[in-house]
Structures are given as C-alpha cells and as structure tokens.
Amino acid sequence: MRVALALARRGLGQVAPNPAVGCVLVQYDHEGGRVVGRGWTQPGGRPHAETEAIGRAGKESLGSVAYVTLEPCAHQGHTDPCADALISAGIKRAVVATLDPDERVSGKGILRMKRAGIQVDLGCCNRQARQLNAGFLATRETGRPHVALKVATTFDGKIAAINRHSQWITGPESRAYGHLLRSRFDVILTGSGTVLNDNPMMTCRLPGLEKYSPIRALVLGHRKIPFDSKILSYEHGPPTLVYLGYKHSLAEDNVFLKKVEVCKVRCDTFGYPVLSEILADLVARGITRVLVEAGSRLNTAFLKAEGVDEIHWFRASTILGNDSIPVIGDLGQDNVEKLRRFSVIEQKRMGNDMYELLSKQANG
C-alpha cells in the first residue's frame, strides 16, 4: 500500500477535480509477492489508476491482489467504473485504504466487488490515504478546498525586516522544496502586498517540473499593483485569477493583461474580498488543493476564518527581532484554552533550516 500511496502522489496538483489515486497489482506464490502492474491517476484526471495498473499487468492481473489508495469508483463517467474493471480483470482480493465519500460511490465500489466474489479489506494506511487526498475529500465532505499555508520565517517567526526586505530568509534547499510543493497544488494564492514587496512569479521553476506550475490566484484589496507585475505577465500556463471586491475601483479592461481572469466577489466590512467566496469559486472551478503564499495580513485572515488545514513552515536559524514583520498578525486570542492547535506530521532539516508540516487538529 505504501507503494500505491507513493504512486498516487505523482498526481497531486495535476488531476483535479478527481482524486490522486495509486494502484498496485501483486501476484503471490510460495516464494512471496511479485508486482505485476502499477498505475496512478494521469494528468487531467484520466485514465484512472486501476485501469492503468490493469493495462500494465495484462493477463497477469488474473488472480492478483489489488492495493488501491481510494475506493474504486462505481459510476459511469467519462470512463467505465473502476470496480467493474477490477472485476473483469479477475482479481481475487482488493485492499482499499479508504472510502470515497462521493455520493456516486461511497461504499458502492466495495459492495460491487464483494458481490462479484472478491475479498475486500478496508482501512490499510487509512490516515495516510486521507492526508494524501485531503483536497478531494474536503470538497466532498465540507464543500471547500484543502487550504495550506506555506511560510518561510526566521527562528523568531518574522518574514521580513522592518523595511520589508525579505530575500532571502531561508536557504536554497528550502526554496527548492517550496517549488516542489507548488507543483503538488492546484492553485497558489497570494495578496497584493506580497506582489508589491517581492514581485514573485509564483511558478514552479525546478528543472523538469516547470509545466506543473499551479494556477495562480491574486487577492486584491485596497492596493493597486503595477501592470508589469510578474504574476500578471507570465506567458505560460492558464490565466491568473484575480479576485476583486464588487466595489473595487480598478477597470478590468485597463489593468489586467490577456492572461488574467477577473473574478468579482463580495467584500467584507473592511473592503477586502470575502475568503469563503473565493474558496467557493475555486471549488466551482474544480480546484481541490490551494497553497497560500502570502504576507501577514492574508495569513492572518485565513487563520481567523478557520480556513487553514495545514501549514508548511520553513524556519531559518536566524533572528530579526520584534521590530520586524511577523508571519501572523493579531488574532484577538485572549484564552489559551482555545488556541488554534496543529499537530506536527513531519519534520526534517533542509540545509541550515528546519521544515515542519503541521496539520490542524479537530475541534475538541
């Protein structure tokens, strides 16, 4: 199953609105197991992992055991149901990591295989499978995408000096891994402050992964950005999504280039676009995974809205001091018993920096 999970990760950022699934077919005999077929969800969401694995295994899929990271689909879509494909391939057992909450599936794939006489075991590596497909599961279970903050700070939690100078706080190893993260998300979202201070491209620029850059989204509040900002003028990939409040004064036909799509949403009482409406619009576009790379204001807004599911925190072994720019602003927290709590899922050293993956703890 761990091999199937590793295969599934290849699809992250490339298969929305579908889940990223991995499938391994194994033939067992008296000498042990032998992998006869491997598959993962292909870019665009099709073909599915199960049919890819069956195609590679050919006749050797007969009598094999299928390890699948998500319940095989049981509905007719652009392709035939994967549960039927496994049945037709003649597998004798299916080991499934977790159920698919989509109402068109939700246990139906398991039931269909059992009725065909296939032994089905459910729950192997369930936690890891749910974490991997957190985006797809979130859209089905909560109606919004999975949201991750990516932050790079000093040891004392600062993102820039008092004059806003920030390049670079972390080392090259952390920055390279940050680019790899971008390739695993459907959308990367930032704010006007980050554009004005850093003028980032917000693309994946690792050799060989440039084509896996996510869709870029920009939240504009009260501040105008230059017409030649890199996030607006990048010539490859889909248009940048620019979210404005309905009352924003910028003229669409004058400000935004041909690679930009203007998206108007409701404003809050301070005149900023409402985050829940931005996330709802992204879900409607088939987005499941959003990476927020922004400044203190937008980071704080997402945390206040309880909209952060995980944090990718890169921490340098340097100190800027209290007169510098913090990664998170005021949250109005006056009770330590009600703190926003996260669990450390992963921790590793990157050069002279420390990387931590933090996952939001369930309430209660």
CB atoms within 10 A of CB 172: 11
Instruction: Give CA separation, 192 vs 34, 42, 158, 170, in Å.
Output: 53, 34, 19, 22
| pLDDT of res. 351 | 95
* CATH 1.10.8.60 at 142-360, yes or no: no
Selection from 230, 295, 223, 216 nearest residue 261 by Cα: 216
* pLDDT above 80 for 355: yes
Longest dimension (CA), the chain: 73
Using the 8-state DSSP alphabet, how is residue 123 labeled? -
* pLDDT above 50 for 254: no
Q: Name the CATH topology of 2-133.
A: Cytidine Deaminase; domain 2 (3.40.140)
Using the 8-state DSSP alphabet, how is residue 43 labeled? G
Q: What is the pLDDT of residues 189-216, one digit of tens each?
A: 999 999 999 999 999 999 999 999 999 9
Q: Do 60 and 36 meet the contact criterion of CB atoms below 8 Å apart? A: yes
How is residue 66 written in tokens?
Answer: 């299928």
* pLDDT above 70 for 85: yes
Q: What is the pLDDT of residues 136-187, one digit of tens each?
A: 999 999 999 999 999 999 999 999 998 888 889 999 999 999 999 999 999 9
| pLDDT of res. 234 | 67
| pLDDT of res. 335 | 85
Taking residues 37-64, what's their average pLDDT? 96
Is 337 annotated as catalytic?
A: no
| pLDDT of res. 253 | 46
Question: What residue segments make up the domains of the chain, in order of their start?
Answer: 2-133, 142-360
Using the 8-state DSSP alphabet, how is residue 279 labeled? H
Exactly one of 31, 50, 103, 173 is catalytic; name it: 50
Helical packing angle, 49-57 and 82-89, nearest 10°: 20
* pLDDT above 80 for 128: yes
Tokens 């004005």: give the residue: 196
Indicate the pLDDT class of residue 258, thresholds 50, 70 and 90.
low
